[in-house]
Amino acid sequence: MKHFVSPSLLAADFGNLARDVDIVNRSVADWIHCDIMDGVFVPNISFGFPVIEQIKKVAVKPLDVHLMIVDPDRYISRFLEAGADILTVQIEACNHLHRTVSEVRRLGMKAGVALNPHTPVSLLRNILPYIDMVLIMTVNPGFGGQSFIMESYNKIAELSEMIRTGKYDVLIEVDGGIDTSNAGKLFDAGVNVLVAGSSVFGSKDPSATIRLLKEAK
């Protein structure tokens, strides 16, 4: 199983954003993770289309865009125009999830569905054939630097079994409290993609940290 790392720019230095994107470009990271927060779905506001467009200009890795916003359907095509390659929506924010992910795919992006810590993975059973990735939030969304919620391992195991039994081509991504101390255990549990922000950009050598995450055992 291939292991992916998607460093989160939420923890980058926005005064030197191009520099930090270039660090990711030159590292062994696979994607660049962009957290979009609207201050309504989550109690924080991050950034929007102008920033995504600037990131896309300097990024050489695919943009892994996570929408933590209400009514994401209004903006699907706009995020494609801004540069998203993978677009993940929150299951709690979508009234018609099948319609939403179908539109994401129709436009040529990979479609992901994210779950908050309290949301059971059983709700994904009927949507797995129509998506490319599930993002399990391992902290409560809205702020970086939080501690990993240990109960997430049970959700990962349950989801991994659902994917295996159904023979679905779906990646499992995790975000929140990810660092070199738990990366290997997460990969062993069935995770494919690690999102890491504070542990990468808060380290003395982000490129080395990315490599340690990707090669964790």
Boundaries of every domain in the chain = 4-214
Q: Is the pLDDT of residue 89 over 90?
A: yes
193-196 and 171-175 as β-strands: parallel, antiparallel, unpaired? parallel
Q: Is the pLDDT of residue 144 over 80?
A: no
Place of tokens 């979009």: 36
What's the pLDDT band for 141 if we cut at 50, 70, 90? confident
Among residues 22, 62, 66, the alpha carbon closest in space to that of 46 is found at 66
Average pLDDT over residues 23-40: 97
Average pLDDT over residues 58-84: 98
Q: Is the pLDDT of residue 39 over 80?
A: yes
Indicate if 175 belongs to the active site.
yes
Q: Is the pLDDT of residue 146 over 80?
A: no
DSSP the chain: ---EEEEBGGGS-GGGHHHHHHHHHTSS---EEEEEEBSSSSS-B---HHHHHHHHHH--SPEEEEEESS-GGGGHHHHHHHT-SEEEEEGGG-SSHHHHHHHHHHTT-EEEEEE-TTS-GGGGTTTGGG-SEEEEESS-TT-SSPPP-TTHHHHHHHHHHHHHHHT---EEEEESS--TTTHHHHHHHT--EEEESHHHHTSS-HHHHHHHHHT--
- Residue-wise pLDDT for 150-202, tens only, equals 999 999 999 999 999 999 999 999 999 999 999 999 999 999 999 999 999 99
What's the pLDDT band for 214 if we cut at 50, 70, 90? very high
Catalytic residue, candidates 38, 132, 175, 179: 175
pLDDT of residue 147: 87
pLDDT of residue 217: 87
Average pLDDT of the chain? 96
Q: What is the largest CA-CA distance in the chain?
A: 46
Indicate if 169 belongs to the active site.
no
CATH topology of domain 4-214: TIM Barrel (3.20.20)
- How far, in Å, CA of 212 to CA of 56, rounded? 25
Average pLDDT over residues 63-76: 97
Average pLDDT over residues 127-140: 97
Q: How many percent of the chain have pLDDT more than 70?
A: 99
pLDDT of residue 81: 98
Q: How many percent of the chain have pLDDT more than 90?
A: 95
pLDDT of residue 186: 97
Catalytic residue, candidates 20, 30, 35, 85: 35
From residue 162, alpha-carbon distances to 103, 122, 125, 126, 171 in Å are: 24, 9, 7, 11, 12
Q: Is the pLDDT of residue 11 over 80?
A: yes
pLDDT of residue 1: 76
